[in-house]
A and B are shown apart, each in its own frame.
Chain A
Amino acid sequence: MSRYHQPHDTVSEYSDIRSWRSASLIDRVYVGYGLVVVVLVVLSYLLGMLGWLPSDPDGMDLANMLAGPLTEGHILGTDYLGRDLQTRLIIGIQAYFLPGLLSIVIALALGAALGVLSGYRGGRSEIAVTYVTNLVDALPRLVLMLLVIAAFKPGIYTIMVVLGLTSAPTVAMLVKGKIQMLRQRNFIESAVALGISPARIILKHILWYNCRALLLIQATLGMAEAVLLETSLSYLGFGVQEPTPSWGNMVQAGANYLLQGNFWVSTAPALAILFTVLGFHLLGDGLNNMFEGKRQR
């Protein structure tokens, strides 16, 4: 027996993963590139964890200091101590990978909880959540982080917890908006009339079916934010400290040699940051257009 599907062109209002084929070329390129970046980052992270590296990240090749790319034995060259840049870039992922995930989990979990609280319950809890989120939004994030670092100990996890907490309001507002939209379409009311328990309505019908695209997009943007924040703080010396490599402190260490004409030591990690952040952003952008942007077309 043959199966019939709705032709995708007629899908006007809602879409899901299946809309890949109907997505525009540019969105497909965005998402494709983003996925390549994600896969590379995850693979490199796992390689680093397992210790399957091209060479020792702290091993100094004194014969080949400040070597350019494509030097024998060092595909991406070496830094001012003759350490292999490719290896250090791979290890550098560990500086933001798990902490970044932590900040995403905090932002999504807290944001979803607050969003449901204000959107589903309404009333006083909605007012409270709105005030708290406005308050958090009004605080300059970097200043807040430096304050927390000063008050506690400087550590990437502390920073990422703060990042997660300060990102939660955005997620909360998006989830709240979605729920209010659903309420308007009396979708929640009919679920209640069907005798479905509130927990099930919230978890299955609201968060899973109606908010998963939104949460996925926020996760990719959150990771981009985490990479940028970790590298900029490490660049400033507040994040990961030498000799542990981080893309941020690698740029910083290499910067001293820029004026001597050895621009590559600094440029290699900078490019890594650029392509990675770009990848996560384009992934989020493309997914957003695929999931949510259908309605306008």
Chain B
Amino acid sequence: MSATPLLRIEDLRTYFYSRAKQAFIRSVDGVDLDVARGETLGIVGESGSGKSVTMHSALGLITATPGVISGRVVFHDETPRDLLAGLDTSARLERRDDRIMAVEKDNRAWQKQVERNLDGIRGGKIAMIFQNPKAAMNPYETIGAQISEAVRLHTANKSPAEARERALHWLDAVRIDSPRLRYDNYPYGLSGGMCQRAMVAMALAAEPRMLIADEPTTGLDATIQARIVELLEELKTRFGMTMVLISHDIGVIARLSDRIAVMYGGRVLESGPAAMLLEQSEQGHPYTHALLASMPRTQNVKAGGRLPAIEGEVLDTINVPRGCRFRERCQRMHDGIRARCAEQEPELVEVTPGRRVRCWLYQA
């Protein structure tokens, strides 16, 4: 990564306050990520690992009012711009021994600052697609009108006729057949896969620099999943789109990503080139290895054995234990490092060029 990354996330922390439990949930707890121009970064992790919250925080989509976000999210288009700038002035954290004791937050000022930071970025420079596309589109407006709205909002095509032409162009680009007929369809009249295509068209209509796909294939059936993955692959090659792909499906991640970041308990445990992570998983983080081993493969089926599962439960992000977050479920912890694993959390260090792992196994 020689040039400056398009998006750099530094020490991002997103904490929610749970009224029921009277405690802070540390959904994202110090995440560093780089997304280079033209590359596809896959973020993988199980539910509650903070992968979605990370990108939602970066785009100011976190609305739960007692939520606090800190860190830096620099979007480097022509000039660098910190998407979280100035937020610390409207929220104050009180910490004691690395625990958050209290939060004071001026919600109105916070929200205003978010709007100011993201004006022109959200939807325009960075577009996002969601899982369950039907729920994300306006059910009472035709898909064509919705795409045209995105065109008129973010590009120089201001007249309705021009916007219509552009919208048709994008419908065609996402391989929706007979776009002229589909233009006047309502979301309910489209299949799930078709709707996701329309959603992608809507995101592309703004001609963004970057596309964030949040679980784009979840909730679609297997054949449609494959079609959507093909579509995203095509966007990469045809438009050179920079993408962040969030998924718990490591198969989808493997197909599309240039680089992969593995998240667990609100932190990145490992990041590096996709091929390296997938093929030499035993040289990486034990969690990545276990995750890959639990994937159904032909040789596992042939062997006739049970699919290995990762024992234990997902990390409790309220009472984060001392030491390594994955320690409780780790299979590769040995006596030589056991004490250290329990005592202190390892740093994310480079083990081979481009590959960074957060594990004591590699830090003698």
Contacts and interface: CB of A to CB of B under 8 A. Distances in A.
Interface string A185-209: 1110111111110000000010001
A260 interface: no
A190 B154 contact: no
Contacts of A209: 138-141
Contacts of B130: 186, 189-190, 193
B189 A6 contact: yes
B59 A14 contact: no
Interface string B124-161: 10011010101111111100000001100110000000
A13 B139 contact: yes
Interface in B339-361: none
A12 interface: yes
A186 B127 contact: no
A3 B139 contact: no
Nearest to A4: B181
A123 B138 contact: no
B186 to A, nearest CB: 7
Contacts of B132: 185-186
B139 A195 contact: no
B140 A210 contact: yes
B135 A185 contact: yes
B65 interface: yes
Counting chain B CB atoms within 10 Å of each CB, the highest count among A123, A184, A189 belongs to A189
A123 B111 CA distance: 13
Contact of A189 (B61, B124, B149): B61
Interface residues of A, number: 26
Given A194-B127, A195-B122, A195-B153, A187 B59 contact: no
Interface in A136-152: none
A6 B65 CA distance: 41
A187 B188 contact: no
B189 A11 contact: yes
A205 B137 CA distance: 10
A270 B203 CA distance: 59
Given A187-B138, A209-B141, A194 B150 contact: yes
Given A11-B189, A122-B65, A186-B130, A196 B138 contact: no
A16 B124 CA distance: 31
Interface string B50-77: 0000000001010101000000000000
A202 to B, nearest CB: 13
Interface in A197-240: 205, 209-210
Nearest to B121: A195
Nearest to B141: A209
B363 to A, nearest CB: 39
B140 A192 contact: no
Contacts of B150: 194
B63 to A, nearest CB: 8
Interface in A152-203: 184-187, 189-196
Contacts of B137: 187, 190
B188 A11 contact: yes
Nearest to A13: B188
Interface in A17-60: none
B74 to A, nearest CB: 19
A195 to B, nearest CB: 2
Contact of B139 (A14, A122, A184, A186): A14
B153 A194 contact: yes
Contacts of B134: 185
Interface of B: 59, 61, 63, 65, 107, 120-124, 127-128, 130, 132, 134-141, 149-150, 153-154, 181, 184-186, 188-189, 199, 202-203, 206
Interface of A: 3-4, 6, 10-14, 16, 122-123, 184-187, 189-196, 205, 209-210
The 9 closest A-B pairs by CB, nearest first: A195-B123, A185-B135, A190-B136, A209-B140, A193-B128, A194-B123, A6-B189, A14-B139, A195-B122
